[in-house]
Amino acid sequence: MISKIYELQKNQPLKVKQIKTWLVENENYVNFLISESNCRKWVEWLQEKSTHIYPCICSNREQNCILIETYYKLDRVIQLHQKEEYFNILVQEYKQIASDNVATSEWFKTHKKLASEIAFDTEISIMLELEPYKTSKIILNENEFKNIIEFQNIFNELEYNQIIK
């Protein structure tokens, strides 16, 4: 099972096309693993893809669960990437109003909920063991997420400046 994760890691940084291919190739297998898993949270996610999954706290991680979590995190990355053009629109909106403090404040308030929900990072960590703590990293191609990253950077800067004022 871990070999499927190593497939991803040898091609880093990962491109969206590679992730999509890996997800399709492993979908049936992951669905089977979910049906066999002792961890019921994955069944909930399979039934309702919008369900938020909390990080695993099992002291001894099952190999199947590690693969399922990897699949889950990459699936979320693809779902977010599908909104890349939308984030481009938001970034362009901001650039047009950046010099207007009132409009910028309104833009910030309007998109605050969205910004708090994405929490995107180009480095995905998968916990392999709780004690001693050990993770596996998957690195994404930043260029394919540039609008999401720029939106987050703008938002973080605005939030930081609001705290300072």
Sole residue written with tokens 């979320």: 76
Average per-residue pLDDT in the chain? 88
Check: CB of residue 59 under 8 Å from CB of residue 50.
no
Phi-psi region at 58: left, alpha or beta (left = phi > 0; alpha = psi -120 to 50)? beta
* Residue 13: strand, helix, or coil: coil
Going by pLDDT thresholds of 50, 70 and 90, the confidence category of residue 103 is: very high
Q: Return all residues near 46 (Cβ < 8 A) that are at least 6 apart.
A: 31, 34
Residues in the chain: 165
Check: CB of residue 55 under 8 Å from CB of residue 68.
no
Q: Return all residues near 21 (Cβ < 8 A) that are at least 6 apart.
A: none
Structure tokens at 64: 């199947």
Interval 49-89: pLDDT, tens: 766 777 776 667 788 888 999 999 999 999 999 999 999 99
pLDDT at 156: 92
With 80 as the cut, is the pLDDT of residue 48 above it? no
Q: How far apart are the first and last CA of the chain?
A: 51
Nearest-angstrom CA–CA distance, 155 and 91: 10
pLDDT at 51: 67
pLDDT at 2: 65
**pLDDT > 70: percent of the chain:** 93
Going by pLDDT thresholds of 50, 70 and 90, the confidence category of residue 149 is: very high
Interval 15-27: pLDDT, tens: 999 999 999 999 9
